[in-house]
Amino acid sequence: MKNTRKNKTPSLPEVGPVEGQKPDRSFFIVVSIFLAVCVLIKLPILQFEHNEPDEQVYWQLTEHWVHTGHYNIKGTAILPWLSPYVYDRGLFHR
pLDDT in tens, 20-55: 667 788 889 999 999 999 999 999 888 888 778 788
Inter-residue contact 74 to 88 (CB < 8 Å): yes
Phi, psi of 79 (to 5 degrees): -60, -40
Q: Which 8-state DSSP code applies to residue 9?
A: P
What digits encode the pLDDT tens for the residues 58-89?
888 899 899 999 888 888 888 888 887 777 66
CA end-to-end span of the chain, whole Å?
69
In this structure, how many other beta carbons lie within 10 angstroms of the beta carbon of residue 76? 19
Which amino acid belongs to residue 1? Answer: M
Give Cα 82 to chain centroid, integer Å.
27
Q: Note the pTM of the prediction, 2 decimals.
A: 0.44
